[in-house]
């Protein structure tokens, strides 16, 4: 006989594993829930303005159905009240890095800091006098961009929705 | 000296470490915290019987509160329990559409767990048997077992407490809920392997 005052044993752990499998199978957490929570935290923490996705040729925003296949990517435009951002994504062609991507972008603000946040962390560049910038050696997967004005800390940052590259 | 292997840390401990590091300025550690605890929080939320969208909102709100109140949280190590309490409260608050804050003591008990017919239809034969047995437990036991099943043994007691179960209801001893599950499964020849 076992009693409720006994220590938890291997059988109990196995039973709980079955319970876990049951609910994980029948009522799974949405696959992108954690990513959406992180995005919400970032927007909140930055007091950021969220840019709207205007149009995209083949790029997909992150959603429940996006785990289908890597989509061939072209370009996408984001717009916020203060700034617009266009990015186009291409595979890097060098032999050792063909699983990496390069982002060519244009932002309606010269000298803006553009940060790409990926699964690996973030990398940032400053746009040139024409608003152009290049971010290379990024991993495939989800990415969102944060645009800030290094010359003026009082301007709210602009954050884009996450896209798949 | 001989190396004495220690029990692996539960997700509660790892979450506590990530949160403490975040408070100390390692901002990127928050992402680790979110990844670690989201499955537990999802099940804590869903076990209250609310719709998926409400559960997602509750989880998001709980994390935003955590970020806002980051400095005033007394025990960073207990962050998992803190989040479970807030998620559960938020589910009830959002679910009833009330604007006012609901105190912990006002949070009603979870209903019996439900799986919609579509979810039931995808269960394996063995899962169906398990579901039938789980359904015979009290709603409180169903809720407790569902949520701790997504955590690790060292976390059981803290999670039970944050769900409003009496101290000592589970971990390190088996407790009545795990005992009941064990007994009902053990009595079913269809379950025994």
Number of domains in chain B: 1
Judging contacts by C-beta atoms under 8 Å, the chain A residues touching residue B42 are 29, 33
Helices marked H in chain A: 10-26, 33-46
Question: Which one, of B34, B55, B54, lies nearest residue B44 by Cα?
Answer: B55
Residues of A in contact with B50 (CB under 8 A): none
Distance of alpha carbon B123 from alpha carbon A90, whole angstroms: 42
Pairwise CB contact (< 8 Å): A22 & B174: no
Q: Is residue B72 assigned to a domain?
A: yes
Q: Is residue B3 in some structural domain? A: no
pLDDT tens digits for range A112-163 = 999 999 888 889 999 999 999 999 999 988 899 999 999 888 888 999 988 8
Cβ-Cβ contacts under 8 Å between A and B: the total is: 115
* A25–B123 CB contact, under 8 Å: yes
B88, B61 Cβ separation under 8 angstroms: no
Kindly write down the DSSP assignment for every residue of B161-193, as one continuous string: HHTTPPTTSSSSB-HHHHHHHHHHHHT-TTT--
pLDDT for residue B193 is more than 80:
no
- The Cβ-side half-sphere exposure at A1, using a 13 Å CA radius, reads 3
Best of A18, A24, A35 to disrupt the B interface by mutation (most B CBs within 10 Å)? Answer: A18
Instruction: Measure B123 CA to nearest chain A CA, in Å.
Output: 7
**Chain B, nearest residue to A36 by Cα:** B60
Query: B18-21: which pairs have CB atoms within 8 A and are 24 or more residues apart?
Result: B19/B66, B19/B76, B19/B79, B20/B76, B20/B77
Q: Which of A16, A30, A34 sits opposite B148 (nearest CB)?
A: A16
| CB–CB contact A12 B31 (8 Å) | no
* Cα of B57 to nearest chain A Cα, Å: 9
Nearest C-alpha in B relative to A117: B28
The pTM (predicted TM-score) of the whole model is 0.80
CA distance A29 to chain B (A): 6
pLDDT at B168 over 50: yes
Q: Which of A5, A33, A44 sits opposite B38 (nearest CB)?
A: A33
**Average pLDDT of B1-30?**
83
Are the beta carbons of B171 and A8 separated by less than 8 Å?
A: yes
Cα B16 from Cα A33, distance rounded (Å): 21
Give pLDDT tens digits for A56-114. 655 555 554 444 444 455 789 999 998 999 999 888 876 666 689 999 999 999 999 99
Tell me how crowded residue A141 is: count the other CB atoms within 10 A of its CB.
14
Is there a domain that residue B191 lies in? no
Residue ranges of domains in chain A, CATH in brackets: 33-164 (2.60.40.10)
What is the ipTM, given to two decimal places?
A: 0.91
B85 found inside a domain: yes
Range of the domain at B143: 11-186
* Nearest-5° Cα angle at B138, B96 to B36: 65
């Amino acid at each position: 006989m076992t009693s409720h005052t006994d220590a938890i044993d291997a059988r109990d752990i196995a039973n709980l594993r079955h319970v876990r499998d049951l609910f994980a199978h029948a009522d799974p957490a949405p696959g992108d829930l954690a990513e959406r929570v992180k995005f919400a935290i970032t927007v909140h923490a930055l007091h950021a303005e969220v840019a709207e996705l205007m149009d995209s040729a083949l790029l997909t925003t992150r959603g429940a159905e996006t785990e289908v296949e890597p989509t061939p990517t072209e370009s996408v435009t984001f717009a916020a009240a203060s700034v617009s951002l266009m990015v186009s994504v291409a595979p890097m062609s060098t032999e050792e890095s063909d699983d990496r991507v390069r982002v060519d972008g244009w932002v309606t603000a010269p000298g803006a800091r553009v940060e790409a946040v990926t699964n690996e962390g973030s990398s940032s560049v400053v746009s040139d006098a024409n608003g152009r910038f290049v971010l290379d050696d990024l991993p495939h997967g989800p990415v969102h961009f944060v645009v800030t004005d290094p010359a003026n800390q009082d301007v709210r940052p602009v954050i884009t929705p996450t896209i798949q590259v | 000296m001989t190396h004495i292997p220690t029990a692996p840390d539960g997700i509660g401990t790892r979450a506590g470490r990530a949160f403490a590091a975040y408070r100390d300025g390692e901002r990127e550690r928050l992402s680790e915290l979110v990844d670690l605890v989201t499955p537990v929080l999802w099940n804590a939320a869903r076990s209250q019987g609310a719709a998926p969208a409400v559960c997602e909102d509750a989880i998001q709100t709980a994390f935003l509160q955590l970020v806002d109140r980051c400095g005033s949280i007394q025990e960073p190590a207990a962050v998992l329990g803190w989040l479970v309490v807030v998620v559960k409260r938020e589910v009830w608050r959002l679910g009833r559409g009330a604007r006012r804050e609901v105190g912990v003591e006002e949070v009603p008990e979870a209903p019996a767990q439900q799986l919609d017919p579509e979810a039931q239809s995808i269960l394996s034969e063995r899962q169906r048997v398990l579901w039938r047995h789980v359904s015979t437990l009290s709603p409180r036991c169903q809720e407790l077992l569902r949520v701790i099943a997504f955590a690790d043994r060292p976390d059981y007691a803290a999670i039970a407490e944050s769900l409003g179960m009496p101290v000592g209801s589970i971990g390190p001893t088996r407790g009545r809920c795990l005992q009941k599950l064990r007994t009902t499964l053990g009595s079913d020849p269809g379950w025994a392997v």
